[in-house]
Amino acid sequence: MQKVIETLLIGLSTGSIYALMSIALVLVWRSTRVVNFAQAGQAMLSTYIGFEIASRSEIFWLGLVFAIAAGALVGAGVDYFFMRVLFKHATSGPAAVVAPVIATLGLLGLIRSIVGLTWGGEFRSIKAPASTDGFTVGDGTIPFSTLDVLIIATVSIILIALALLFQRTNLGLALRASAYAPEIAQLAGIRTARTRTIGWSIAGGVGGVAGMLVTSNNFLSPYSLDLLLVFGFIAAVIGGLESMAGSVIGALVLGIGLTFILNYVGTSLVFIGGFSVLILVLLIKPDGIMAKGKARRA
Amino acid sequence: MESWPRARPAVRKKIALFILLGWVLLIIGDRVDELRVYQGAQMAMYTIALASIVLLTGYSGQVSLGNGAMMAVGGYGAALTLNNLGSPIWFAFLMAVVCAALFGALLGTAAARLSGPYLAGTTLALAVGLPAIANQFKFLGGEPGLLFDVGFPPERFGEEFTQYKWFFWISTFIALIALFMTSNILSSRFGRTWRGIRGHSLAAELCGVHSSRMKILAFTVSSALAGLAGAVLAMNISLVAPGAYALSLSFALVTGAVLAGISSLPGVVFGAFILVAIPEIADALAGRLGDADKLNHYLPGLIVSILLILSVIYAPNGPGENLRKHLRKKPAR
């Protein structure tokens, strides 16, 4: 019984990080209709910057703040300097449909190479902001640690902040409106292009947090965030790619499920488990758990 | 069926062209040194792999970011056949095609009835997780992989005939056959249907096309081609290992296909040439910039991504398209 509970708790902590990544993907997908595979790269770049700050100042949270700022800047930059130019040029021909996706892939490669050339490929690790030793329960210790509590708390704060932003502010309304119906939003006086850039920068910031949190109890390398991207994508697909709430639920379910596989079956099956979930969702409920009978767009 | 007799001379002409091409390639293969022969074999491999992307993305309009994973399926299929059954080489290559096609049909059924981002994401996930999968199953040999040894060239070719030249002959032969068949498929009713679906899937369905079935078919054929390319790659490096089919290979293939002009089959030769040339160029550049380890490792990726981004923005249908537009001046209205 104790093992079940500790698996649940660890899964919650893992899943909450996936939730951030999948929210970043959903935000961009809703506003731009592109699954931003470069998100892994953006998050990695911001994590490296946060890592530099954290290891120089020895304060993890300062690093986290810088990672958010860097992620937001990079996200806005990608949309402003890259996506806008792309959509201006690639409008016709057989490649027009696939160009944006391929472009984000190119961007992922570009950021990866730049990071590799700047920081090298060695594995690095951040000094965790809290103890990674498990809590003592009864006679033994469980793998659930102070760090996991901090991770869950940080993610909860960010999720609440995002929910408030989207539900209670004018900016949130503009973001939702221009994602839902860009033309009408524009007619209503919203600067949709600028709003989209803001959406990208929010996604970038959230991705930066995800990168830092994953790295806080793991190592960092130019490739270390690829799996996070994949699991974030799977979580977003479970939620239907459109719904932020759905993707958070999807991420928590995925995180808990994968942790159960990890604890009860073995490390090597984790990826296969996640991939099977993806295939199953695509086969059984391709619109995701939050679908309301509406056919999928795009 | 009535148009068949009329189509025949064109096919005959094509066969003649391919035989001529093969002959020229063999003569070239005889004249250049070992490294170039090896690069020629790799180029043939890339040609097949790029043809699979052109068929899938350029014709049926689906994006697969994990062609490297499909190649791995082919490579492992061929290696397992060759190592366990002791079969002749051609049978191993055939099994590579069969395995990849089956796998593609399975995956395509899950993902191809879905559009754009789902297929792209699923295939990307597959490419990212490939090492994990290969490590999971003991018979796939884990990280070091499996040996893939097609044996020495037949003795009747003489002493001078090197191993790499043998690889070059086999891969060129396979690439020519694969290209010939692909070009026939693309100009058949299937190719036309795929283009129709890409252009407007609703309109195509109204014309009686079973759109999702055709998409799965495209994905299957494309996977089969990728699997063949994977087996050729395995032969060229004598090895099937997860590292050989890394994510960077999938990225490189997408880049090559975009540079080839994503919907032009002859363009794949150009794309393959660039993919073979990039590491060479990167090597030369790295040597000039100081031979740091970092540079060697990340420069090819940097060049590939910059090329990909530039061509996606400025020449999304391939440089050839821009050139043609430039040559064919727009008539005055």
Annotate chain B with three-state secondary structure: CCCHHHHHHHHHHHHHHHHHHHHHHHHHHHHCCHHHHHHHHHHHHHHHHHHHHHHHHHHCCCCCCCHHHHHHHHHHHHHHHHHHHCCCHHHHHHHHHHHHHHHHHHHHHHHCCCCHHHHHHHHHHHHHHHHHHHHHCHHHCCCCCEECCCCCCCHHHCCCCCHHHHHHHHHHHHHHHHHHHHHHHHHCHHHHHHHHHHHCHHHHHHCCCCHHHHHHHHHHHHHHHHHHHHHHHHHHHCEECHHHHCHHHHHHHHHHHHHCCCCCCCHHHHHHHHHHHHHHHHHHHHHHCCCCHHHHHHHHHHHHHHHHHHHHHHCCCCHHHHHHHHHCCCCCC
pLDDT of A18 over the 70 cut: yes
Q: Chain B partners of A222 at a C-beta cutoff of 8 Å?
A: 298
Tell me whether residues B63 and A102 touch, CB distance under 8 A: yes
For range B260-267, the mean pLDDT: 80
Q: How confident is the model at residue A20 (pLDDT cuts 50, 70, 90)?
A: very high
User: Which of the four pLDDT bands, split at 50, 70 and 90, describes residue A25?
Assistant: very high
Shortest CA gap A227–chain B (Å): 7
> CB B258 to CB A95 under 8 A?
yes
Burial class (CB in 10 A: 0-12, 13-18, 19+), B27: exposed
Q: Evaluate whether B83 touches B147 at the Cβ level (below 8 Å).
A: yes
Are A200 and A75 a contacting pair, CB within 8 Å? yes
Residue B332: is its pLDDT beyond 50?
no
Which of the four pLDDT bands, split at 50, 70 and 90, describes residue A126? confident
Nearest to A64 by CA among A73, A78, A53, A75: A53
Distance from the A130 Cα atom to the nearest Cα atom in chain B, whole angstroms = 30
Show residues of chain B in contact with A109, CB under 8 Å. Answer: 248, 251, 301-302, 304-305, 308
B313: contact with A, CB 8 A cutoff: yes
Short-list A18, A42, A34, CA closest to A203: A42
Cα separation of B155 and A186, whole Å? 74
Look at residue A152 in the predicted model and tell me its pLDDT.
92
What is the token pair recorded at A164? 């408030």
Over chain A, what is the mean pLDDT? Answer: 86
Distance from CA of A276 to the nearest CA of B (A): 10
| A239 φ, ψ (degrees, to nearest 5) | -80, -5
The Cα B221–Cα B193 span in angstroms is 14
What is the pLDDT at residue B2?
Answer: 44
Nearest to B125 among A117, A222, A278 (CB): A278
Residues in Cβ contact with B73 at an 8 Å cutoff, skipping those fewer than 6 apart: B99, B100, B103, B223, B227, B230
pLDDT of B323 strictly over 80: no
CB under 8 Å to B149, separation ≥6 — which residues? B82, B238
- Please enumerate in sequence order all residues whose Cβ is within 8 A of that of B90, keeping only pairs 6 or more positions apart, or say none: none
Element at A69 (helix H, strand E): helix A60-77
Angle value at C-alpha A26, between B306 and A178, nearest 5 degrees: 95
CB distance A103–B304 less than 8 Å?
no
Neighbours of B192 (CB within 10 A): 14
Burial letters for A88-114: b for 16+ Cβ neighbours within 10 Å, e otherwise?
Answer: eebeebbbebbbbbbbbbbbbbbbbbb
Check B302 against A114: CB less than 8 A apart: yes
| Residue B98 scores a pLDDT above 80 | yes
Rounded to an integer, the average pLDDT of B171-185 is: 89
Residues of A in contact with B289 (CB under 8 A): none
Question: What pLDDT does residue A200 have?
Answer: 94
CB–CB of A99 and B312 under 8 A? yes
* pLDDT of B120 higher than 70: yes
- In this structure, of A185-194, B86-95, B147-156, the range with the lowest mean pLDDT score is B147-156
Return the residue in A105, A229, A230 with the most chain B beta carbons within 10 A, the one to mutate for interface testing.
Answer: A105
Give the closest residue to B251 by CA, choosing from B296, B295, B301.
B301
The answer to pTM > 0.90 is no
pLDDT for A298 equals 38
How close does chain B come to A98, measured CA to CA in Å? Answer: 7
Mean pLDDT of A62-73: 94
Is ipTM > 0.85 here?
no
Contact between A269 and B105 under an 8 Å Cβ cutoff? The reply is no
Tell me the β-bridge partners of B240: B146
Average confidence (pLDDT) over A181-192 = 88
Q: With contact defined as beta carbons under 8 Å apart, do A72 and A43 qualify?
A: no
Cα of B9 to nearest chain A Cα, Å: 30
The distance of Cα A78 from the centroid of its chain, to the nearest Å, equals 16
Query: Rounded mean pLDDT of B174-185?
Result: 89
- CB distance B129–A29 less than 8 Å? no
Per the CB < 8 A criterion, the answer to whether A206 and A158 are in contact is yes
| Contact at CB, A229 and B128, closer than 8 angstroms | yes
**Of A267-276, A285-294, B175-184, which one has max mean pLDDT?**
B175-184
What confidence score (pLDDT) does residue B100 get? 92
> In the structure, what pLDDT confidence band is assigned to residue A293 with cuts at 50, 70 and 90?
low
pLDDT at A297: 43
Handedness of CA B292, B296, B298, B302 (dihedral sign): positive
Question: Inter-chain contact B129–A275, Cβ cutoff 8 Å?
Answer: yes
Q: What is the pLDDT of residue A38?
A: 92
What is the pLDDT at residue B111? Answer: 67
Q: Per-domain residue ranges for chain B? A: 40-246
Residue A78 is predicted with a pLDDT of: 92
Distance from CA of B315 to the nearest CA of A (A): 8
Q: Is B301 within 8 Å of A121 when comparing Cβ atoms?
A: no
Residue of A nearest to B111 (CA): A282
Q: Which helix (H) or strand (E) holds A106?
A: helix A99-119
Which tokens is B323 given? 């050139």
Q: How much of chain B, in percent, has pLDDT values that exceed 90?
A: 9
Q: State the DSSP code for A297.
A: P
- From B7's Cα to the closest Cα of chain A, the distance in A is 27
Q: For residue B91, which amino acid is it?
A: F
Residue with tokens 């089919």, as numbered in its chain:
B245
Site from A18, A84, A113, A280 to mutate, B interface, most B CB atoms within 10 angstroms: A113
Residues 149-188 of B with CB under 8 A from A: none
Eight-class DSSP state of A33:
S
B244: alpha, beta or left, given left = phi > 0 and alpha = psi -120 to 50?
Answer: alpha
pLDDT of B291 strictly over 70: no
Give the HSE-up count for residue A231: Cα atoms under 13 Å, Cβ half-sphere: 30
CB contact B58 to A (< 8 Å): yes
pLDDT band at B7 (very low <50, low <70, confident <90, very high): low
Minimal Cβ distance to A101: which of B63, B248, B306: B63
Whether residue B17 has pLDDT greater than 60: yes
Q: Which residues of chain A lie closer than 8 angstroms to B295, CB-CB? A: 117
In the predicted structure, residue A261 carries a pLDDT above the cut 50:
yes
Q: Cα separations (Å) of B332 from A187, B325, B327, B329?
A: 36, 14, 15, 9
What is the structure's pLDDT at A23?
A: 93
The per-residue pLDDT for A266 is: 79
Q: How confident is the model at residue B333, as a pLDDT?
A: 45
Query: Following CA atoms A194, A195, A199, A205 in sequence, which dihedral angle do they give, to the nearest 10 degrees?
Result: 60
Q: How many CB pairs under 8 A join A and B?
A: 162
Q: What is the pLDDT of residues A127-147, one digit of tens each?
A: 777 777 777 776 777 778 888
Mean pLDDT of B18-29: 79
Residue in A94, A107, A270 nearest the CB of B317: A94
pLDDT higher than 70, residue A295: no
Mean pLDDT of A230-241: 90
Chain A residue nearest residue B301, CA to CA: A113
The one-letter amino acid at A106: G
Domains of chain A: 2-284 (1.10.3470)
d(C-alpha A96, C-alpha A83), whole Å: 13
Q: Name the amino acid, one letter, at A155.
A: V
Q: How far is A41 from chain B (nearest CA, A)?
A: 12
Split at pLDDT 50, 70, 90, the class of B166 is confident
Closest residue on chain A to B296 (Cα): A117
Read off the pLDDT of each residue in B59-83 and give the average, rounded to a whole number.
Answer: 87
Helix or strand (DSSP H, E) at A143:
strand A140-145
On the question of pLDDT at B328 being above 70, the answer is no
Q: Which two tokens stand for residue B94?
A: 């055939």
CA-based nearest distance A136→chain B, Å: 33
Closest partner residue to A109 among B136, B304, B318, by Cβ?
A: B304
Q: Provide the terminal-to-terminal Cα distance of chain A, rounded to the nearest Å.
A: 45
Q: How far apart (Å, rounded) are the C-alpha atoms in residues B225 and B71?
A: 8
Contact across the interface for B58 and A94, Cβ inside 8 Å: yes
Q: How confident is the model at residue B114 (pLDDT cuts 50, 70, 90)?
A: low
Say if residues B45 and B175 touch (Cβ distance below 8 Å): yes
CB atoms B306 and A110 under 8 Å: yes
d(CA A11, CA A255): 5
Q: pLDDT band for position B109 (50/70/90)? A: confident
Residues of chain B contacting residue A120, judged by C-beta atoms under 8 Å apart: 293-294
* Interface contact B124-A268, CB threshold 8 A: no
Q: What confidence category does residue B113 fall into, taking pLDDT thresholds of 50, 70 and 90?
A: low
Strand partners, A236: none
Which SS3 state, helix, strand or coil, does residue A272 take? helix
